[in-house]
A and B are shown apart, each in its own frame.
Chain A
């Protein structure tokens, strides 16, 4: 846990007058689970978008495993072992859940095989196994556009996990998941990730989840990191409680489109 897997230095990005990132410095240590909290519009998704190559920062740089990845395409960054899930699930809507995950499995082995079925034995089993671990076996054959919000979210994460990343960035993995199932799902997810020795960064609004599963918490505020440390310490900070957790309690669910 002493070595940084991902290092952001001086990351800045403005949209018009809005500073979505304003000098972000952050080290994500190998093997850790880092939670990102903060009010809507603080720039949490923007950070993930920059790290995964979807957005290019105006200034600053990101290194992964000592290698500069700023400005690389999402495709190239995935190949290095960084995967992500989305605040608004991005599924192939006309495919089944199993096909969605199998496509992610296939993309790891090289997609350019035109004459062997996607649902060949190896891929199918891997997809089925993963869906079972996520508790999604019952809907494996459902079309993605027929799922409820929580199932869509989980399938979206399962696709990212199927890429077997070393670093997984999850944007609000538990939003939309029913409160009663939330803890169980996160626990399952955490077990999957720990087994695979995946380093994880996740944006989270539920402080119980953060407290229980995060090794460290980064508090985002107006494009900056306002506090960083172990959850026990950060969440106890009165300023954080007032500015983040207080707002969180009353915040409406985010509705703006997020890539």
Chain B
């Protein structure tokens, strides 16, 4: 199965590009999907360790507001992306030092708590954040090039796709490395790691920092695409959405988050257009079906079709 991953990745990328060319409005939806897929890579890492974070919208919001605050100052898309990644990584380190002491439900809920604190700060510090009105993000030059709107949107789409590839590739190597396999060892036998001289908490913390960085990048890309940030980016439902996408896509491989995010965004857009009041119900039903009948998610289903284990 692993062998097919790069080819399937290329096919998926080609399909996304084709869709974005065919229907310009899909370009927006798919850029958001790629951004969320990138963030969900972080959820996937933590799932490997058997941990579920219900608070990773914290890093989405942090990355997005970093763009909103710094874009006017830095005036370059590449620089704000780097700043969002670095800032989210630092925040992840600080929060991670605390939350990686805990496991299971405590880990999940502490992440949720952190996210809620951040959300209310965004709401309450009106003077700074403009509260629930949010902040507009103007089109910015990218790598020194001033761009018109369409070129800008294509460029952000391209950056999202490129980052998805590079990060997916790197994380795929990471998961098969001693560090990544030790991370998976936390799920089944954390104490054995200690008896092998491996600091389990350090392993989890490094995964957590990576998850924060990709969360920040995802949030920054969302801000650059939607060009408007609000505290809702860090609302608890947004955290749940990331977990939803991770389960929908499947945690067995790095393509899962992108399959999940694309499916999620497309279902959401079409369902919202066709059944304005029922789209949450449709998504809920989809999730229920996936959990009951395809616990490996979309990636697991693809893997079964191609004859493999999905991991």
Residues of chain A in range 77-122 having any CB-CB distance to chain B below 8 Å: 78-79, 83-84, 90-95, 99, 102-104, 106-108, 111-119
Residues of chain A in range 102-147 having any CB-CB distance to chain B below 8 Å: 102-104, 106-108, 111-119, 123
B101 contacts chain A at the CB level, 8 A cutoff? no
Report if A114-B174 is in contact (Cβ < 8 Å); known contacts: A75-B198, A79-B197, A107-B197. yes
Which single member of B184, B185, B199 contacts A75 (CB below 8 Å)? B199
Alpha-carbon distance between A150 and B69 when the two chains are bound, in angstroms: 61
Residues of B within 8 A of A93 (CB): 188-189
| Residues B178 and A90 in contact, CB atoms below 8 Å apart | no
| Residues B194 and A92 in contact, CB atoms below 8 Å apart | no
| Residues A111 and B185 in contact, CB atoms below 8 Å apart | no
Residues of B within 8 A of A95 (CB): 181, 184-185, 188
| Residues A73 and B177 in contact, CB atoms below 8 Å apart | no
Residues of chain B in range 184-222 having any CB-CB distance to chain A below 8 Å: 184-185, 187-189, 191-199, 203
Q: Which residue of A lies closest to B196 (CB)?
A: A107
A12 contacts chain B at the CB level, 8 A cutoff? no
Report if A78-B195 is in contact (Cβ < 8 Å); known contacts: A111-B182, A112-B179. yes
B291 contacts chain A at the CB level, 8 A cutoff? no
| Residues B197 and A78 in contact, CB atoms below 8 Å apart | yes
Which single member of A74, A75, A79, A118 contacts B176 (CB below 8 Å)? A118
B172 to chain A, nearest CB (A): 10
Which single member of B173, B191, B196 contacts A159 (CB below 8 Å)? B196
Alpha-carbon distance between A54 and B194 when the two chains are bound, in angstroms: 10
Alpha-carbon distance between A113 and B206 when the two chains are bound, in angstroms: 12
A157 contacts chain B at the CB level, 8 A cutoff? no
Alpha-carbon distance between A74 and B180 when the two chains are bound, in angstroms: 21
Alpha-carbon distance between A84 and B195 when the two chains are bound, in angstroms: 8
Residues of chain B in range 145-199 having any CB-CB distance to chain A below 8 Å: 170, 173-174, 176-182, 184-185, 187-189, 191-199
Residues of A within 8 A of B187 (CB): 94
A192 to chain B, nearest CB (A): 18
| Residues B194 and A117 in contact, CB atoms below 8 Å apart | no
Chain B contact residues: over half helix, strand or loop, or mixed? helix
Residues of B within 8 A of A83 (CB): 195
Q: Which residue of B lies closest to A116 (CB)?
A: B177
B39 to chain A, nearest CB (A): 20
For chains A and B in complex, what number of residue pairs have CB atoms within 8 angstroms? Answer: 97
Report if A111-B195 is in contact (Cβ < 8 Å); known contacts: A90-B189, A93-B188, A94-B188. no
A139 to chain B, nearest CB (A): 17
A104 to chain B, nearest CB (A): 5
Sort chain A's interface into a size bin. Answer: 35 or more
A163 contacts chain B at the CB level, 8 A cutoff? yes
Residues of A within 8 A of B192 (CB): 90-92, 159
Q: Which residue of B lies closest to A117 (CB)?
A: B176
Q: Which residue of B lies closest to A162 (CB)?
A: B196
| Residues B178 and A118 in contact, CB atoms below 8 Å apart | yes
Which single member of A54, A91, A118 contacts B181 (CB below 8 Å)? A118
Report if A114-B173 is in contact (Cβ < 8 Å); known contacts: A94-B184, A99-B181. yes
Report if A91-B196 is in contact (Cβ < 8 Å); known contacts: A115-B173, A117-B176, A118-B178. no
A14 contacts chain B at the CB level, 8 A cutoff? no
Residues of B within 8 A of A123 (CB): 178
Alpha-carbon distance between A180 and B184 when the two chains are bound, in angstroms: 35
B181, B185, B193: which has the most chain A beta carbons within 10 Å?
B181
Residues of B within 8 A of A107 (CB): 178, 182, 193, 196-198
B266 to chain A, nearest CB (A): 32
Residues of A within 8 A of B199 (CB): 75
A58 to chain B, nearest CB (A): 22
Report if A90-B185 is in contact (Cβ < 8 Å); known contacts: A107-B178, A114-B179. no
A259 contacts chain B at the CB level, 8 A cutoff? yes
Which single member of B179, B185, B189, B194 contacts A73 (CB below 8 Å)? B194
Alpha-carbon distance between A244 and B66 when the two chains are bound, in angstroms: 70
A174 contacts chain B at the CB level, 8 A cutoff? no
Interface residues of A (CB under 8 A from B): 52, 54, 73-75, 78-79, 83-84, 90-95, 99, 102-104, 106-108, 111-119, 123, 159, 163, 259
A93-B188, A107-B193 known; 17 new pairs, CB 8 Å cut-off, are A74-B191, A74-B194, A78-B194, A78-B195, A90-B189, A90-B195, A91-B188, A91-B192, A106-B181, A107-B196, A111-B198, A113-B179, A116-B173, A118-B177, A159-B192, A159-B196, A163-B196
11 CB contacts below 8 A, A to B, read A90-B192, A90-B195, A92-B181, A92-B184, A92-B192, A95-B181, A103-B198, A111-B178, A115-B173, A116-B177, A118-B181
The 6 closest A-B pairs by CB, nearest first: A106-B178, A78-B197, A93-B188, A107-B196, A90-B192, A92-B185
